[in-house]
Amino acid sequence: MNKITLLGTGCPSPSHIRYGPSTLLEYDGLKFLFDLGSGVTQRLSQLDIKPSELDSVFITHIHSDHIVDLYQVYISGWHTGREEPFTIYGPKGISDHFETILKAYEKELLNRIKWEKRPNEKGLEYEVIEIEENLNVSKENISISSIDVDHYPVDPAYGYKITLNDSKTIVISGDTRYSDNLIHAAKGADILIHEVFIELAFNEKRMSEQTVKNIEDYHTSPEDVGKIAKEAEVKKLVLTHFVPPVFDEEDLRKRISEHFPGEIVIGSDLLSLEL
């Protein structure tokens, strides 16, 4: 079945209900992963998908909650039989980041290679493609392009536009404030998968008032998510990357529907949408 699945819909706050942000596209036998939040391989396992089956991974930005399981997906892909190089697309800096992770595991991995004698050493090879001005990737009936979004001071940060058979369109926002670029890219999209910042309760032991202000500032409020979806005239709005991971779903739906009259889906881990 052709589908897109929300593997993880959470945020940096640990949650057993909402794992770290990650979205899986399955189409015409290909599998593409967008972001690699905490627990992504466990969610893949729940779908009976091996990491070795992934064709490429796409990273929106270099923030820990979106890339913490990058090495886990890489190494477990080798463990489960990947026979082709691991391919990563992402922002400038992701190559250095991945090389640093590999360096940290170098002795452990060399020991494992020597002792386990697995036949698929090619599966340990990798290719990292950093986005320069923009990214356009086409594989069979799938086209994927990058969208510059605004998550400053995290820069660059990207969303992704996925076009299937030159017709159906899915847009993944990544982390962003209200973004005109995103609205333009998502114009008329069949599905817009968008992050949302609901609230952050102040706790003086782990944050300052500036913490709350700054975190809210570089995400998108429910009201702005609704405005984005309306301006882009998307057919379906799917919410993910909830801050916080536990919230009043009906209140969230109400806040968004005041601005967007279309279909609103409150995402959950392992929710699949047929394409």
Round to whole Å and give the CA distance between 78 and 123: 5
Element (H, E) at 101: helix 94-104
- Whether residue 175 lies in the annotated active site: no
Q: Which two tokens stand for residue 221?
A: 């409020």
Helix (H) or strand (E) holding 212: helix 209-217
Per-residue b or e along 15-29, where b marks 16 or more CB atoms closer than 10 Å to that residue's CB: beebbbbbbbbbbee
Dihedral pair phi/psi, residue 191, rounded to 5°: -140, 130
As given in the structure block, the two tokens for residue 254 are 């109400």
Tell the residue number behind the tokens 């959950």, with chain if given.
268
Single out the catalytic residue among 28, 35, 55, 65. 65
Per DSSP bridges, beta strands 22-27 and 30-34 are antiparallel
Which amino acid appears at position 20 of this protein?
G
The C-alpha atoms of residue 86 and residue 101 are separated, in whole angstroms, by: 15
| Residues that are catalytic | 65
